[in-house]
Amino acid sequence: MPHLCHGPGPDLVANDPLRQVPTAAKKMADQLRELRNRYGTGHGRAVVHDITDEVAEICVHGALIWIRWALARLQTVLMGAVQPLIDDLLEGGVFYGGDLTNRLQAANIVNLEEADQRALGLAIGQRAARATFNVRIEGIDVCSEDPARWPDAYREAALQRLFTNPDG
């Protein structure tokens, strides 16, 4: 499953600002957790620390930055979830033109674990074998156009399932 803290798009280099900004926001949220652990009143602390209004404001604004970004990114993360995509493929979900392309892009298939790449390839191949044209176009045909974007485990599994049923 795509991670919330990953920046948009699989082709971004690590030092790209579109990756650095969310990373900085996550680091800020991590520091807020540390502040809470250090100065919070939980866990039966005997001493309550004085916190200035300025520190409280910084904490609130830092939390809001992370929450707003996380909520905005949530749709992409959910769209790229592998198991729901597999379920939709195997259980007859509807795929209009571009739907599968968008979900595969959100899943960031190149960076998935090999087992997930394979499971996704099997589901795509099985659905394409049942003459679902958009799935065939967006999940099978595109592999020949740009093989580097499609991991071997995915392509091999998709090809396998195109020619065999789940029972072999």
> pLDDT of 122-140, one tens digit each?
999 999 998 889 999 999 9
For 47, list phi and psi in degrees, rounded to 5.
Answer: -115, 130
56-60, 70-74, 84-88, range with greatest mean pLDDT: 84-88
**What letter would DSSP give residue 16?**
-
| CA–CA gap between residue 40 and residue 96 (Å, rounded) | 50
User: Rg for the chain (alpha carbons), in Å?
Assistant: 22
Q: 1 falls in which pLDDT band (50, 70, 90)?
A: very low
Please give the residue that has the higher pLDDT: either 57 or 6. 57
pTM: 0.68
**pLDDT of 150 higher than 60:** yes
Return the residue matching tokens 């509807």: 94
